[in-house]
Amino acid sequence: MTRPQAGPRKDGAADRRSWRPLAGILAAIAVSLTGTRVSAIALPWFVLVTTGSPTQTGLVAFCEMAPYVIVKAFSGPLVDRAGPRRVSWAADTASAAAVGTIPLLHGLDLLSFWLLVALVTVVGAARGPGDLAKEVMVPEAADLSAVPLERATGLSGVVERLASTVGPAAGGALVALLGPMAGLTLNAGCFALGSLIIAVVLPRGMGRTAEPATGRSDQGTEPGYWQRFAEGYAFLRRDRLLFTVIVVIGITNLLDAAFMAVLVPVWAKTSGGGPAAIGLTSSVGGVTAVAGSLIAATVAHRMRRRPVFFVGFLLAGAPRFLILAADAPMWAVLAVFAVGGFGGGFLNPILGAVSFERIPRHLLGRVRGLGDSVAWAGIPLGGLLAGAAVSFFGLAPALVAGGAAYFLTTNLAGLRPEWAEMDRHRGQRPPAGGSVPVAGSVDGGALGEASPPSPALSDAGDGSHPGGAVPG
């Protein structure tokens, strides 16, 4: 079904714009992410205190995240075909039911460990397409609300970072006061509320499939799943800017995962700061990241993207590694994390706007889903590599090596000519069945292909960029 694309108009209609589409999708993202952050505290704590096994705790975490990444990668064609609104509603409903079953069975003394693993696997598998579907509706909401893409993606970044800052604090307090089952019950309620917002608050007609009429084959039949998936894969490999962004974000996500999962905890232990130091540095970075995202939402559509993007990476990346390696006093560490968080706040709004401008609407689900998952591929290796590096070489050399790798990845990649494409299609909205011109392709394919999703929107976790986003 093809419907006319909404967008900012020049006939005065923008003066009568409604914020309901954008406010609705941001509210759905906010409650879903906040519930997930609370669960990220409650679920591991529940497993640890009931089993006493760090191995089983890690297994539960793996059984949630592995299905999330895999199912998200392969759910893009479904989101594009069925429509993101329908998928988001169904996924949040399934997540609410699965999470809500955990405290129910626990209260009835029927919750075995392997049943918990099965329920957590269902939650991860449902969250992947649910998060993807909400992401896909952001540009449509921006069009309907007559808001620049940078502002819409900036506001989305603010919501993500606020959830990353407020959610863990609320989850820790709730678990301390009422126990982990209260946190999981709140998470189930958040999923249910998100599903209700998608169903009721969003305007009628928003979030439907954007499949073009030309999507049918010569025989009049619709393309199959694998043909749709192949179209998304083609977009991920033909555009040079797309290819470069995927590589850069994939490497930095791996380094960020190593930093937050191993290097920061080891630094906090050896420096004597303990868990309080971890929480303090994360909170400072998260607060300034929210400030950066707010500024990006306000003025980023007037700024040149390429210099802002790489200055943001310069501030958010290597300095965090090097300040810890220098064994600096806490005030200096906090200052570096604060500056890094502020710079990191500009990254996702820019990447999101670039991808939404360049990907035809009918391909958003499959391109963003596959790209996000590719960018996550190295994250499980980050902690393993960091742990091995600290064991063999020590903390300071591992931090210096990580900072150097971060600096070289972001700055050497910035010299490539593809990045000039970041500003080329500013303000353009690909029609539902169309595309925007692309300067070149990796394989010499036809022009008119799409740019990548914004993998940084689904990065390694709390602090993967200071105050970074986690799939919610």
Question: pLDDT category, 442, cuts 50, 70, 90?
Answer: very low
Per DSSP, the three-state class of 441 is: strand
Please check the confidence at residue 398 and state whether its pLDDT lies above 80.
Answer: yes
Vertex 460: Cα angle to 140 and 150 (nearest 5): 30
Please check the confidence at residue 31 and state whether its pLDDT lies above 80.
Answer: yes
* pLDDT score of 96: 94
The rounded distance, in Å, linking the Cα atoms of 225 and 111 is: 37
Please check the confidence at residue 445 and state whether its pLDDT lies above 70.
Answer: no
* pLDDT score of 212: 58
Radius of gyration of the chain, Cα coordinates, nearest whole angstrom: 22
| Interval 36-87: pLDDT, tens | 888 877 887 788 778 877 667 777 877 887 888 888 888 888 888 888 899 9
* Stretch 444-452: mean pLDDT: 29
Nearest to 459 by CA among 389, 401, 377, 396: 377
Please check the confidence at residue 156 and state whether its pLDDT lies above 50.
Answer: yes
Contacting residues for 69 by C-beta, under 8 A, at least 6 apart: 128, 373, 376, 377
| Interval 134-143: pLDDT, tens | 988 888 888 8
How far is residue 44 from each of residues 41, 54, 55, 185, 293, measured CA to CA in Å? Answer: 6, 9, 11, 15, 30
Alpha helices by DSSP H, listed for 197-326, are 225-238, 240-258, 264-271, 274-299, 305-316, 318-325
0.75 exceeded by pTM = no
Per DSSP, the three-state class of 81 is: helix
* pLDDT score of 319: 95
* Stretch 254-280: mean pLDDT: 81
Q: Please check whether residue 151 is in contact with residue 302, taking contact to mean a CB–CB distance below 8 angstroms.
A: no
Average pLDDT, the chain: 77
Q: Which range in 236-245, 250-259, 275-284, 455-464 is most confidently predicted, on average pLDDT?
A: 250-259
Burial pattern 407-431, b for ≥16 Cβ within 10 A else e, equals bebbeebbeeebbebbebbeeebbb
* Stretch 180-209: mean pLDDT: 88
Contacting residues for 226 by C-beta, under 8 A, at least 6 apart: none
* Stretch 448-460: mean pLDDT: 33
Vertex 300: Cα angle to 167 and 342 (nearest 5): 45
* pLDDT score of 340: 92
Percentage of residues in the chain having pLDDT higher than 90: 21
* Stretch 190-197: mean pLDDT: 92
* pLDDT score of 429: 56
* pLDDT score of 460: 36
* pLDDT score of 64: 82
Q: Which range in 183-187, 205-209, 260-264 is most confidently predicted, on average pLDDT?
A: 183-187
Q: Write out the H or E segment, with its range, that includes residue 27.
A: helix 20-51
* pLDDT score of 383: 74
| Interval 316-374: pLDDT, tens | 999 999 999 998 999 999 999 999 999 988 887 777 777 777 777 777 777 878 877 78
| Interval 203-257: pLDDT, tens | 888 877 766 544 454 455 677 778 778 777 887 778 778 778 888 888 998 898 8
Percentage of residues in the chain having pLDDT higher than 70: 82
How far is residue 93 from each of residues 75, 127, 345, measured CA to CA in Å? Answer: 17, 10, 31
The rounded distance, in Å, linking the Cα atoms of 191 and 31 is: 7
Please check the confidence at residue 201 and state whether its pLDDT lies above 70.
Answer: yes
Please check the confidence at residue 466 and state whether its pLDDT lies above 50.
Answer: no
The pair of three-digit structure tokens given for residue 348, joined into one six-digit string: 């996702």
Provide the residue type at 226 as one letter: W
* Stretch 372-385: mean pLDDT: 77
- Sort 291 into a burial class: Cβ within 10 Å, 0-12 / 13-18 / 19+: middle
* pLDDT score of 276: 72
